[in-house]
Each structure stands twice: as structure tokens, then as C-alpha cells.
Amino acid sequence: MKTLYKEYLVVTLVVIIASLIVSMFLLGQLYNNYVREDADEKNLDIALEVTDIVGTMSADRLDEFFQSIAKLGYQVVVIDENKKITSYGAKFKKMHLNNEMVALVGSNSIYHGIREYKQNFSIMNHYANDVQNTIGVPFTMDNQNYAMFIRIDNASSFTEMHYLIVGFLFITTIIIFVAMILLARQLVQPLKQLQLATEQIAKENYDIDLNINRNDELGQLAIQFQKMAQRLAENDQLKKDFINNVSHDFQSPLLNIQGYASVLKDGENTEEERVQYLDIIEQETKRLSALTKQLLLLSSLDQKNLPIEKKTFSLDQQLKDLLFAKRWKLDEKQMELIYELEPIEIYADQHLMEQVWDNLLSNAVRYSEVKGKIVVTCSREENAVVVKVRDYGIGIPKDELDKVKERFYRVDASRSSQSSGLGLAIVTEIVGRHNGEFVIESELGKGTTVTVRLFDR
């Protein structure tokens, strides 16, 4: 299996090798265009200078003179009319003279071997230890024609400084390569931890502890990954709690329906008892139906797939219609209803907003005492429409105000059969989808005020 570490090392090696190849190519171009010509001219000047001196000398001192030239760091080859070849200084590795070089004896031409030599890779031609890689000039001594081929000895051209530079480049290359390996390890190690953490999350194990202390993007990724794991753990727990709560809320009415249905099978029930049992079954069925509808609505809001069909409608009229529909519940508890509704039109989803007001009004009635009072107001404040529902019922403890918007949370356990615990959660979601604000204020024993602010478009 390929790993990022191996791929990084391979890429590093490829980059280094490619850099060397490109560098050699560019150096070759530089050598061909500038250095080769310059080296040829310099060696030609030296060759002409040497032959000028030789022209003033006697033949018996020729060997001694060329040996002195060789000691100065030059390789010299001399050929006479009889094609006798004499070498001075370090031997050439290749000593084959081509026809042009042999024909130089007795001619007036110049052999530009350094400029024309192209047997090796471009820049390596400069260091080829071949007699053809020289400058050749003819000269005459004691009426005898000769040709001299000369170039600087490669060994003498490498000074201590050159060796230091080569060593420096070699050591630098090794250090860079080792540094790249260490850097690769530093980059890959946190990624390996994240990979293992991902595998744990795939197994639904959200207890992740990433020991990645970095201030770069990988460090930020680790922090966000840790937060994601914590959020997934919370969501997983919420899912389990949700299933437990739903199971409990469905089980209770189902058991009641099952129990009273069994009792109805008994033919000894009176007509009054039979009607009473059927009423209970009907109530529990309605309760299940309402719970199912709320769960479906909340699920749609969670998945963000419930279309928001906004349009302009009369908010005050919608509230009046709902208050009229709740009138029988208010009369049943002998409650007083006060409402002040300004004529206001809003741009929102009419159906969803109806769910909001229905839940808030139902809660106000449910948690108010007999002969209590409910106040509903609708007004405009600056850039928002504000709806308030105030009751004077049992109220909510301060330490539970933040929890009442949670799903299935109920403040008054004794009234749990009257509520699914989803109403305020639905209100929170719908108001949030309308970019509004939902605030609950309450005092235990004195009542609750809920406020919904819908901001202008």
C-alpha cells in the first residue's frame, strides 16, 4: 500500500534528480555558448605564445622547454613531418590523432579541438582527457615542420578551493535530503493520527484524544477534528436519548389503548363505562397522532428539506383565528384572555408560523391554573415584528430555562401526559429558519412570557 511518507520521499528524490538534470542541461548550454569559446581562445593564446618562443630556440632545447611547459600544468603533444608523436606532461587517455590534426603539420591552419569536441555530454567535453580535445598550432624549427597540441591539465585545474566547493555541494545535498526526510515525518505523523482517529469514529468510538500540538494548518485541523468528534459524540447521545424518549412517549398511550381495548372486550361493561373507555382510547389516539405530526415536522426541519414557502399575510388575523380556535379550552378552565393586536403584515411561511403560535398558546393554557389569565400582544418595534404570549401560571425554575427548548424536556413531570416535550423545540427551529429570535422569561409561581421577534427582510 502506498503511504504519504513514501510518496513524499519519492517526490523529493525525483525533484532532486530532475533539478540535477535541468541544472546539467542549463550548464551545458552555458558552456557551449560562452565557456567553450572562451577556453578555446585562452588555450589558443597560450599555444601561440609557446610557438613564438619555440621559434627563437634551438632544437636541442626543445624537449627541455616542453617539459617545463608540462610542469606548469599543461598537457602537450608534438608531431613532426615523419608522424612521430611525442607527449609531455600527463598522458592523454586517448591518444588517437585524427586526419585534421595530422594534416596540421606544415600548414597555416589552427586546430580548434576544444571548441569542436562533442563526444561526451555537453559540459563533460571540457574535461575529456582526449588529445583531440586540445588546441593545435603548427610551428617550424631548423627547417623542420611540426604541430603542437596543448591544453591545461585537468588535474592542475582543480585547486583545493574547487574540492571544497564540490564537497560543500555534496554535503549540502545530503543535508537537504535528510531535512526533507525529517520534514516528511513531521508532516505525516499528525496525518497518521488523524487517520487512526477517523477509523475510530467510523467504529462509533468518539473518545478521541489527538496529541498534535502545532500552530500551523495541521494543528488547526486537529483542533477542528477534535471538536467534530465531540459534536458527533453529543449527537450520538442525543440520538439515543431521542429514541428512548420517543419509545416512552409512544409506549404509554399504546399501553392505554391496548388496556382499554381489552377491557372493552368484556361484555359486562355498562354503556357509561364503554363510552368512557372509548373516549380515553380516542384521546390517546389523538395524542399519538399529534406526537407523530410533531416528530415528522421536527425531522423535516432538522434535515433542512422542509420548503419555506414565504408569502405576505396578516399576522394579527392569524393570531385572532388561533385565539378563537382555543376559546373552548380557555372557557373550560374559565380563563381570561386579553389581546392587543396591531394590524401587521409579515413575509413568512404562514403554515409554519401557525405551528409556532399554536404551540405557544397551547403551553400557556396547559401550564396556567383554573381562572387564570393569558395576555397576547402583537406590535412593531423598529425593524422587527414582536409577538408576546404572557401567562400567570406555574412558571419555570431559573436553572431550567435553558433546557425547556430541548426535545422531550418537561418541567412539570405531573403534566407530562399533556405534552410531548417537542413544542418549544419546534418553535426554536421554525423561528431560527426565519432568522428570528425566540426568548423565554419566567419566574417560578408567577408565570412565563415568551417573545418572538421576526426581523424585517
User: What per-residue confidence (pLDDT) applies to 423?
Assistant: 78
Domain final position from 127, 157, 187:
157
User: What per-residue confidence (pLDDT) applies to 249?
Assistant: 63
Q: Tell me, yes or no, whether 301 and 311 share the same domain.
A: no
Domain final position from 289, 306, 323:
306
Take residue 107 and report the three cell numbers written for it. Answer: 600548414
Is 138 inside a domain boundary?
yes
CATH number for the domain that contains residue 275: 1.10.287.130
Q: Tell me, yes or no, whether 261 and 402 share the same domain.
A: no
Angle at 143 between CA 138 and CA 147, to 5 degrees: 20
Is 17 inside a domain boundary?
yes
Q: Tell me, yes or no, whether 297 and 318 share the same domain.
A: no
Q: Tell me, yes or no, whether 284 and 322 share the same domain.
A: no
Q: Can you tell me whether residue 414 is helix, strand or coil? A: helix
Q: Tell me, yes or no, whether 290 and 336 share the same domain.
A: no
**pTM (whole model) above 0.95:** no
Domain of 99?
4-157
Q: Tell me, yes or no, whether 214 and 228 share the same domain.
A: yes
Q: Tell me, yes or no, whether 147 and 44 share the same domain.
A: yes
Is 201 inside a domain boundary?
yes
Is 162 inside a domain boundary?
no
User: What per-residue confidence (pLDDT) applies to 415?
Assistant: 45
Q: Based on the structure, what is the number of domains in the chain? A: 3
User: What per-residue confidence (pLDDT) applies to 385?
Assistant: 94
Q: Tell me, yes or no, whether 283 and 327 share the same domain.
A: no
| Nearest to 339, CA basis, from 365, 318, 355, 320 | 320
Q: Tell me, yes or no, whether 298 and 340 share the same domain.
A: no
Q: Tell me, yes or no, whether 111 and 256 share the same domain.
A: no
User: What per-residue confidence (pLDDT) applies to 97?
Assistant: 92
Neighbours of 309 (CB within 10 A): 10
Q: Tell me, yes or no, whether 10 and 152 share the same domain.
A: yes
Q: Tell me, yes or no, whether 208 and 349 share the same domain.
A: no
The residue type found at 353 is M
Cα–Cα dist 360/395, whole Å: 14
Is 180 inside a domain boundary?
no
| Nearest to 436, CA basis, from 320, 340, 317, 352 | 352
Is 311 inside a domain boundary?
yes
Residues 86 and 77 sit within 8 Å (Cβ to Cβ) = yes
Cα–Cα dist 81/27, whole Å: 40
Cα–Cα dist 210/214, whole Å: 11
CATH number for the domain that contains residue 430: 3.30.565.10
Backbone angles phi, psi at 379, to 5 degrees: -150, 170
Residues 411 and 448 sit within 8 Å (Cβ to Cβ) = no
Domain final position from 290, 306, 322:
306
The maximal CA–CA distance of the chain, rounded, in angstroms, is 156
pLDDT tens column, 365-402: 888 888 889 999 999 988 899 999 999 988 888 877 77
Regions of the chain with pLDDT less than 70: 1-5, 31, 120-122, 156-165, 238, 241-242, 244-249, 267, 298, 300-306, 407-421, 457
